[in-house]
Amino acid sequence: MAVKVNRKGDRTPFDMRRKPCAQRWYLMPIIWGLSWLQMRRFRLKIERVNMKKIKPPYLVLAMHQGESDYRIAPLALFPNRVNYVSDMEGFAAYGERLYRAIGCIGKRRYVPEASVICNVRYALKKGHPVVIYPESRHSNVGTTALLPKNLGRLARRMGVPLVILSVHGCYLANPFWDERHTRKVPIQARLECIYTAEELCHADEKEIQKRIEEKLQYDEYDWQKQKGILIPEEKRAEGLHKALYQCRTCKAEFCMETNGIILCCKRCRSEWTLEENGQLYSASGNVHIPDWYEWQRQNVHAEIDAGTYFPEFSVYVEALPNAKGFIPLGKGTLSCTEKEFLLTICGQTFRFPHVSRESVQTEYDYKGRGMCIVLSHRDCCYYIYSDDEQFNPTKLQFAGEYFHDLCNMC
């Protein structure tokens, strides 16, 4: 999909306070029909657990592995009219009028906004299920992204049944690092009520939080192994170097590349083959992709602890203040300190404190335009690109999350 450009440069902030509407009845057959057609090739199976006596309104917390999630939810919740908490990108891509008509509630990723909670409560009081994707981004390597620590409190305060929508297969069918090539993978979904409204009243918030986190944990490569799924896609490894950017052998960063089913290091020439079963094999043994990913995270933590990771990049920036599209802002610099990300454009500096931002939105090939990260304020999202070979969204995400933890420990 092409990027929508805000040609008039209108920077009027998106109205986050506007109340959501019910999904328009005339759009429902289209939503269900298109979702069914798009998911048919994945042989989608939906299991419903403890849902027979559960009627709207209820709160749905859903896994967020990839694009297919947006087609699964309408089918899992059929025939209900649903409201969805959605990032600003969707409003810009499809238009505010249409997105509001299908029941979406606007939000900026990793930006606390009281109006979002108010709108969720409003939709629930109107009798509609509300779907929230608490991970806020697609899965980088098929494992659960960072989950907010206030989900237990949110669920308890809404005063409606709490439902979990878990999915398996979405990431494997369209891994975030290569969404251009779709794999033939069966997809399974499970809609489960884990608390009734009455049970929530008597449950402790920490207990609710713990149970939510347990229900939303996943490792798609473990699931692939358990189900015996093979993926014979000839280009199944291409793009994996965006997530696995550091060589396991020589420890060099940003020297990884992929071709077909091979992941290799340009510096030491070590090679790994991504087998049909989802494991990486080399002469020295196999590697679990999520383990490699977490190994990189620990290396970033070590750099920060040693005081050696404070990067600065020349960048190109586009702003998304509203649903009218992107505004090119031109070139600038992005730096990271122990307290914040600093984005400087045309002499103006925008600050993004780590203490209030639990993670960083990563994009591995945003609409075919390359890797970027997104940093947001309440009134605007900034899409940040760079040609610097050391600019890697995965590493910046690891750093942002660790700095956030450190800032909140002080």
Is the backbone peptide bond immediately before 79 cis, with ω within 30 degrees of 0? yes
Q: In 179-258, which residue ranges form alpha helices assigned H by DSSP?
A: 197-201, 205-215, 220-227
312-409 maps to which CATH number? 2.30.29.30
**pLDDT of the chain, 410 residues: tens digit per residue:** 567 888 888 899 899 999 999 999 999 999 999 999 999 999 999 999 999 999 999 999 999 998 899 999 999 999 999 999 999 988 998 899 999 999 999 999 999 889 999 999 999 999 999 999 999 989 999 999 999 999 999 999 999 999 999 999 999 999 999 998 999 999 999 999 999 999 999 999 999 999 999 999 999 999 999 999 999 999 999 999 999 999 999 999 999 999 999 999 999 999 999 999 999 999 878 999 999 999 999 999 999 999 999 999 999 999 999 999 999 999 999 999 999 999 999 889 999 999 999 999 999 999 888 999 999 999 999 999 999 999 999 999 999 999 999 998 86
∠ CA 273-390-241, nearest 5°, is 15
Pinpoint the residues of the chain covered by CATH 2.30.29.30. 312-409
Q: In 134-228, which residue ranges form alpha helices assigned H by DSSP?
A: 151-158, 170-173, 197-201, 205-215, 220-227
How far apart are the C-alpha atoms of 279 and 367, rounded to whole Å?
Answer: 28
Enter the pTM of the model.
0.95
Please report, as a single letter, which amino acid is at residue 112.
P
Per-residue b/e over 222-236, b at no fewer than 16 CB within 10 Å? Answer: ebbeeeebebebeeb
Query: Which secondary structure element, helix H or strand E, spans residue 72, and what is its range?
Result: helix 69-76
How far apart are the C-alpha atoms of 314 and 201, rounded to whole Å?
Answer: 51
Length of the chain: 410
How far lies 273's CA from each of 168, 252, 282, in Å? 24, 19, 6
